[in-house]
Amino acid sequence: MILARLALRNLLRQRRRTALTLMVVVAGFLALSLAGGFMAQTFQGLSDAAIRGGLGHLQVMPPGALEGDEAQSLEKALPDGEALAARLRRDPAVAEVLPRSQFMGLLSSGAKSVAFLGTAVDPVLEPRFMASAEALQGGAQSPGGAGSRWLSPDPAHREVILGIGLAKALGATVGSSLTLMSTTRDGALNAVDVDVVGLQDLGLRELNDRFLTVSLATANQLLDAGPARSRLSIVLKRPQDTASEQARIQALLPETSVKPWFELASFYRQVKLLYFAIFGFMGLVLFLVVLLATANTLLMSVMERVREFGVLRAMGLQPRQLLVLLQWEGAFLGLMGSALGLAATLLLRAGLNALHLQMPAPPGTSHGYELNIHFVPMVYLIVALGLQATLQVSALFPGLKAARLRIVEALRHV
Amino acid sequence: MLRLDHITRAYELGGERAGVFGVSLDVPQGCLAVLAGPSGSGKTTLLQLSGLLDTPDEGEIFLQNEAVTALTETARCHLRLTRLGFVFQAFNLVPVLSALENVMLPLQLQGVGDGEARPRAEAALARVGLADRRHHHPGQLSGGQQQRAAIARALAPDPLLVLADEPTASLDHAHGGPLMDLMAELAAERGVTFLVASHDPSVIARAHCVFRLMDGRLVGEERS
């Protein structure tokens, strides 16, 4: 412990230099941990959007549902999706099961027809577990969206909610009557008249231009679907168990394919990879800056203490103990830098979040979001450990230089 | 206690060959021995060789009749830590430590716990008359006080041999004399052997034996 005490005293002796070095470490900690908090916000937002956008935590689908397109509606469907949903609802780990059907066709206003991608949902369950109602609020702000409401639970009502781009293309507003055309499961052409009850802003322009939502009852009339459903979205009671529950439920339903949301959310995975690449490179550069700055400081400190090291060696200190002494100095710089960096991060995070800054809309999306840098202890721990390792490495070269000093020359050093 | 047998250590200094050449001497236990001679005569080189800070090109060094020249660096470090003490011309106390902590340092490096090191260091400081200055840092002590603290540091681990390089050179006469008296007392009182490099006549006058060097060679030996 005497070496640790000596190291600490030496750092305190050169207060200005130590303070400057600590500033570099603190700046590195601050930049990396804030970036980590921002990444966490982004990932959280994207995962919420994916899960509450309809995927749920798990999706049950027929095997091969993700390979190739359907030649006709519900060609790749769970034949008795409703019975399967009822069975899964009895599972103690499942909070709810939301059956969905996906279909394509043409939407006509009489004067104009536009291709659409349709999703049929349960009008009662969907707003309770998914973000449908929030998308509806966004659509209500658009021209013609005033008075938007969710689909009626009454199966006799044939209603549709349109993406704002799709509504604009057809010149449709809330209250307009349109005709949905598609093929039934048997391949026959069918059509139903629907009333527009709402407009949705789904956040992505491509979706807004093509997407519409109807109730399962309306879709059944159009597609002659019976109990068949394209997918079952499972909402788990414990989202953190998604991976283990996927394996368990897949074993229970071997005739189906059970996928976790993160395998299906390709946008989420792409953004995650992109962020890891960008912030990984930034982290590498920052670690390099910290490494060079601290190595320089410690080397200067060694050069100023050559005679002192000579005396310590004369007294019987082993060369490797000088290496340990410098490692202690690096360790204290890392510990102090990380502690101060954490304090600065928490302060700056609180300040930035309190400003309610609006971030611009990310590429491909139609609206921005409020900056809310997350508190992520694991990121702080990883950054602290990374900086600590960097400082131990930076102390290595000065330590080796000190350990290699010849005692008689060190004692002569002026 | 310390025996040098035909020691040679040569090096280049300003384009000329310097060092010590074929020096043999024998320092008995409890002796205050002085290596005397003008600058460049090889006093410091011989002192460093005796203190295992450097290795000779030729010859053998014996410490308590044990040949130590060919020892590994680890073994030499251990010997320096446990059996040798050093006093330097420029005192060389560790500036970030108090006088007491400086004296405790070699004990702590030996692995002695604070509980034992502290009273031993306090006793060593009391013996050199610095009990009331033990919490002062080197910058708060006079030159004489620093050198006495350095002697206390050298003596605290109970070494067999203390090597002092021009210990009075940075002190005025009023402080140098008493310092040498202290060394003589300690040699007599504890049986510690002192090997001092100096050209100061007041130091030489207090020595039990004097080895005179000239141009790296032993040219005279006086014992009282």
**Chain A neighbors of B106, CB-CB under 8 A:** 315-316
Question: What is the pLDDT tens value at each position of chain B, 224 positions in all?
Answer: 899 999 999 988 777 888 899 999 999 988 899 999 988 889 999 999 999 999 999 999 999 889 999 899 999 999 999 999 998 888 889 888 899 999 999 999 888 998 999 999 999 898 888 899 999 999 999 888 898 899 899 988 889 999 999 888 777 777 777 778 888 888 888 888 999 999 888 888 888 899 999 999 999 888 87
Q: Does B112 touch chain A (CB under 8 A)?
A: no
Provide the CA B152 distance to its chain's centre, in angstroms: 12
**Chain B neighbors of A17, CB-CB under 8 A:** none
Residue type at position A79: P
Residue type at position A354: A
* Percent of chain A clearing pLDDT 90 (strictly above): 57
**Same domain, yes or no, for A244 and A276?**
no
CA distance A120 to A143: 25
Q: Show which residues on chain A lie within 8 Å of chain B, measured between beta carbons.
A: 2, 6, 9-10, 12-13, 307-308, 311-319, 321, 407-408, 411
* Percent of chain A clearing pLDDT 70 (strictly above): 98
CA distance A41 to A147: 32
CA distance A404 to A408: 12
Whether the complex's predicted ipTM surpasses the cut of 0.85: yes
What's the confidence (pLDDT) of residue B176?
75
* In a domain? residue A238: yes
**Same domain, yes or no, for A82 and A213?**
yes
State pTM to two decimals.
0.75
Where exactly are the structural domains of chain B? 28-55+72-223
* In a domain? residue A56: no
3-state secondary structure B36-85: ECCCCCCHHHHHHHHCCCCCCCEEEEEECCEECCCCCHHHHHHHHHHHEE
CA distance B196 to B194: 6
Number of domains into which chain A is organized: 2
**Same domain, yes or no, for A7 and A106?**
no
Q: Does B82 touch chain A (CB under 8 A)?
A: yes
Helices and strands in chain B: count of H runs, count of E runs: 7, 10
What's the confidence (pLDDT) of residue B143?
85
* In a domain? residue A57: no
Domain B28-55+72-223 -> CATH class: alpha beta
Least Cα separation, residue B224 to chain A (angstroms): 30
Instruction: Please state, rounded to an integer, the average pLDDT across all residues of chain A.
Output: 90
Which band of pLDDT confidence, cut at 50, 70 and 90, is reported for residue A362? low
The predicted-structure confidence for B160-202, as pLDDT tens digits, reads as follows: 999 999 888 777 777 777 778 888 888 888 888 999 999 888 8
- Domain of A369 in residue numbering reads as 2-49+268-412
| Contact yes or no for A195/A160 (Cβ under 8 A) | yes
The predicted-structure confidence for A233-277, as pLDDT tens digits, reads as follows: 999 999 999 999 999 999 999 999 999 999 998 888 888 899 899
**Same domain, yes or no, for A85 and A220?**
yes
Give the residue-averaged pLDDT of A370-394: 93
Q: Does B91 touch chain A (CB under 8 A)?
A: no
